[in-house]
Amino acid sequence: MLRMAQVPPTAQTGLLRFCTREMSRRAGKRSKRAQVDPTRGWLPIREKLEAVPLHLPELLRLKVVFGRTGDGHTAARHFVRQHLAQLRYHNPDAEIIQRNSKVEKQAYVDLQLASNEPLRLDVTGLPHRLDVLRKVLEAAQVSSESLDASISAAAAMNEVTIDPSGYCGDHPAKTHGVLPRVVQSRRA
């Protein structure tokens, strides 16, 4: 390691300038990292998870099975995408799983409650994710007030649908210079 006395006087000023500039640059980086971005982290995720009240105290197990493609499986796929995380959040003790495959012919929900035997709900061909949610909540024997509150809160959520040009959601696509079109709709 060189000492300042060993470095020629003309190089000392350059070295000091370099060290000062480098230290201020590093300090600037640290201060930028210390700032918190409010759009990231737990709070926005928690708001989405708590948006729909889906607490089912009797629920022991819920399994959603659907195909990856096909018109009869669309409602089940959208139900999984929009509401399965909320169900897991509100019912931490329940076993909630989903399974999809290319060969599945029927979309169904297996539901097991603490009070009775397992139920199998056929959701093939249902037109919307809210119909699947209503069927699950009715089978779980929730009160009519909480059923209506959950369905209305779920209907108020933004729904991302597939644009006719093939783009889905707010995920960036390979645009090749053309911006993707995203259709945001709400079910009335």
pLDDT at residue 69, rounded to an integer: 83
List phi, psi (to 5°) of 3: -95, 160
Q: Dump pLDDT digits (tens) for 126-155.
A: 999 999 999 999 999 999 999 999 999 999
Task: Please give the pLDDT value at position 164.
Answer: 43
- pLDDT by residue (tens digit) across 150-174? 999 999 887 654 444 444 445 444 4
Q: What's residue 40's pLDDT?
A: 72
Looking at residue 38, what is its pLDDT?
A: 65
Backbone angles phi, psi at 122, to 5 degrees: -85, 120
What integer pLDDT is reported at residue 26 of this predicted model? Answer: 66
Which regions in the chain score pLDDT beneath 50?
Answer: 161-169, 171-186, 188
What is the rounded CA–CA span in Å between residue 114 and residue 60? 6
- C-alpha distances (whole Å) from 81 to each of 56, 75, 86, 160, 176 are 19, 10, 10, 10, 28
Q: What is the pLDDT of residue 5?
A: 57
